[in-house]
Amino acid sequence: MARADLETLREEVARLERGSSPAAAARFTTGSQAMDAALGGGIARGALHEIFAEGIADEPAAAAFAVALALRAPGRRPILWVRQDFVGLEMGEIYAPGLAELGLSPDRLILVRARDGPAVLRAGEEAARCPPLGAVIVEPWGNPKALDLAASRRLSLAAARSGLPLFMVRAGGTPTPSAAATRWSIRAAPSRPQLADAPGHPCFTADLLRDRAGAAGRGWTVEWNRDRLAFTDIQGDRAALSRRLVSVAAGGPGDPPEGRSGQRHAG
């Protein structure tokens, strides 16, 4: 790479990390008034966002939260999900009925299976450069060596150039230095009762661990409405079901035990 090109790349990355990139400045709302206000209007479109589970049992909820955010992206363009094979072995494979419960139609999902962490990152970076997509989800397992600060900068830059939101679900991972615009910790929350005590909509407790716009350190409990494809805020004094909420994974820890298939899981 020529020196001039390298300097241009460094300047573009610096603008992205300062939040001054025009693509990164564009936002879309989550539907939650509280979250949107704290985030300066919503989720940055041309940016990388990291999503962690608070605990191993919350991994499906973290994936569901990423899917919900991807569904909020403008338009009804395809969502591409790059998933490492080992995630399926550890957490269960993607469960189509669970995705339908979140409002994701199968004809909008492009699923890419990757052998290892580096393959996930390569496929994710290529996908993030594709403006016809609506959003990209990447899901490596754990803390692959290839996922360093430089790799996250490449992903952020690819998203900024295309204007696509890129969500990285860190299944089995722990936080490391990253160029992500936001970092979230997600856990499943009890759903609110519906008529006849029917299971309610999936609910999440979302803690914002990092935000380049300055809203880090705050948390919300929100409900996902699949009909409106929007999050809504939950007031703390409302009654809640004691049951957990449909899993996006099958054959993993997010699945309901045998004989309790009527229960729904958030994530």
> What distance in Å separates the CA atoms of residue 258 and residue 151, rounded to the nearest whole number?
41
> What distance in Å separates the CA atoms of residue 78 and residue 81, rounded to the nearest whole number?
10
Confidence check: pLDDT of 116 > 90: yes
Placement of tokens 């856990």 in the chain = 187
Look at 75-84, 90-99, 134-143, 209-218 and tell me which has the smallest mean pLDDT.
209-218
More confident of the two residues 23 and 214: 214
pLDDT tens string 14-37: 555 554 555 556 999 999 999 999
The stretch 246-259 carries a mean pLDDT of 50
3.40.50.720, 3.30.230.30, 3.10.520.10, 3.40.50.300: CATH of 30-250: 3.40.50.300
Confidence check: pLDDT of 110 > 50: yes
Burial of 70 (0-12, 13-18, 19+ CB in 10 A): buried
The stretch 232-261 carries a mean pLDDT of 50
pLDDT tens string 153-208: 999 999 999 999 999 999 999 999 999 999 999 999 998 877 766 678 999 999 99
Look at 50-59, 170-179, 239-248 and tell me which has the smallest mean pLDDT.
239-248
- CA torsion sign for 177, 170, 205, 136 is positive
- At residue 199, the pLDDT reads 73
The stretch 129-144 carries a mean pLDDT of 97
- At residue 57, the pLDDT reads 94
Look at 23-27, 105-109, 221-225, 239-243 and tell me which has the smallest mean pLDDT.
239-243
Q: Are strands 135-139 and 166-169 parallel, antiparallel or unpaired?
A: parallel
- At residue 215, the pLDDT reads 77
Q: What is the mean pLDDT of the chain?
A: 84
Confidence check: pLDDT of 122 > 80: yes
- Longest pairwise C-alpha distance within the chain: 67
Confidence check: pLDDT of 246 > 60: no
The domains of the chain are located at 30-250
